[in-house]
Amino acid sequence: MNTVVGIAWGGFTSEHDISKKSGNTVFNTLVNSSYEVYKIHISKTDWSVSDASNNTFEINKANFSFTKEGRLITFDVIINMIHGAPGENGQLAGMLELLKIPQTSCSSYTSALTYNKRDCLAVARALNIPTARFYTLDKGDRYETKTIEKAVGLPCFVKANRAGSSFGVYKVYKIEDLEPAINKAFEEDNQVLIEAALNGREVSVGVLKWKEEIKVLPITEIISENDFFDYDAKYNGKSKEITPAKIPDSWTKAIVELSKKIYLKMDLEGVTRSEFIFEDGIPHLLEVNTIPGMTLQSLIPQQLEADGISLIDFLEELIKQALKKNEYL
């Protein structure tokens, strides 16, 4: 029988619709392959499975199975395309680990760590990986804006700590705008990260396990038409994305070595995408994305194309690597 592949998309956050686009890209690439492929929609109100004919089936959360035409179907592997909770923060991975169903992204622990921006940056600093200066707040904390300004300077970025696709991110130039930005970020998450604004060139780096080796894809330089690489720049064409990046060879060498170190030391799996800013020629880590976008506008497909890797070959390798997890699940 063919390998049964489920593509999980949706989620509980503002990234739901972007996740749907990523899931559709993957589904449309695999639907005519040798795999038996289904879409798995997960939201706060709906957990369901659909096939290529848009027939919908109720999923049994107890064992992630469903019944189609009298046949009980279980998944051999899940391709995790849920940006945000519960896919990117480790919740789905934890559930699948208990059910011994392999999935294409990181373990529940690693996913939770990297999804929490401030915890990820703290680990990065312990690994001697350069980051921007940062300050943290939890909802309800008392704070002085002057103390924050002294810690990170202005301009700075105020970020919802556990969010993606630039939701809940604000660039602040004046101290009087700091508190309103913090309040807006708290609407997205109850934890906030405030970072010094680095001044330099921004790059995005895709990394994956390819033929048993850690492979760094061609680097993308991001030149935003907006004040920074926000949602509008990412998804509405308000940025120039140059792949491969036209950066000095010494920069490329440094970022490749750093990206491999992060992938190895943070125990990353599947495909990841990390963002850096070169300040004074030194790459500073901004964040690590363990479920990078796979929409037509996303960077990973661009980087794969630049490296001569087709989307179907990439997905087949992703599935192959995930199935090996059966050895230790």
What is the DSSP secondary-structure string of 162-220?
Answer: T--TTTTEEEE-SGGGHHHHHHHHHTT-SEEEEEE---SEEEEEEEEEETTEEEEPPPE
CATH topology of domain 199-324: D-amino Acid Aminotransferase; Chain A, domain 1 (3.30.470)
**How confident is the model over 311-319, as a mean pLDDT?**
97
Which tokens go with 141?
């904390």
Q: How many residues are there in the chain? A: 329
In the chain the beta strands, taken as DSSP E runs, fall at 4-10, 36-42, 47-50, 56-58, 65-68, 71-74, 77-80, 134-138, 156-160, 169-172, 191-196, 201-210, 213-216, 220-224, 239-242, 271-279, 282-289
pLDDT value, residue 14: 83
**Cα torsion for 224, 229, 232, 235, to the nearest 10°?**
90
The Cα 77–Cα 113 span in angstroms is 23
The Cα 127–Cα 259 span in angstroms is 12
pLDDT value, residue 246: 96
Residue 205 neighbours by CB under 8 Å, 6+ apart:
216, 217, 219, 220, 255, 259, 273, 274, 275, 276
> 71-81 pLDDT, tens per residue?
999 999 999 99
Phi-psi region of 287 (alpha: psi -120 to 50; beta: other; left: phi over 0): beta
The Cα 321–Cα 50 span in angstroms is 25
Per the listing, tokens 């909770």 go with 85
CATH topology of domain 134-196: Dna Ligase; domain 1 (3.30.1490)
Per the listing, tokens 């992630």 go with 64
Identify the band that residue 233 occupies on the pLDDT scale cut at 50, 70 and 90. Answer: very low
Residue bearing the bigger pLDDT, 211 or 239: 211
Q: Of 143-152, 167-176, 202-211, 247-256, which range is least confident?
A: 167-176
In percent, the amount of the chain with pLDDT more than 70 equals 94
Which tokens go with 227?
């004040």
Identify the band that residue 237 occupies on the pLDDT scale cut at 50, 70 and 90. Answer: low
pLDDT value, residue 310: 96
pTM of the model: 0.89
In 21-123 the beta strands, taken as DSSP E runs, fall at 36-42, 47-50, 56-58, 65-68, 71-74, 77-80
The Cα 316–Cα 196 span in angstroms is 40
Q: Has residue 313 got a pLDDT over 60?
A: yes
Q: What is the mean pLDDT of the chain?
A: 92
**How confident is the model over 272-288, as a mean pLDDT?**
95
* Options 3.30.2350.10, 3.40.50.20, 3.40.50.1580, 1.10.15.40; CATH of 4-108: 3.40.50.20
**Which secondary structure element, helix H or strand E, spans residue 121, and what is its range?**
helix 117-126
**How confident is the model over 150-170, as a mean pLDDT?**
85
310 touches 135 (CB < 8 A):
no
Domain with CATH 3.40.50.20 in the chain: 4-108
Domain with CATH 3.30.470.20 in the chain: 199-324
Which tokens go with 288?
């690590």
- Side chain identity at 246, as an amino acid letter? K
Which tokens go with 162?
């556990």
Domain with CATH 3.30.1490.20 in the chain: 134-196
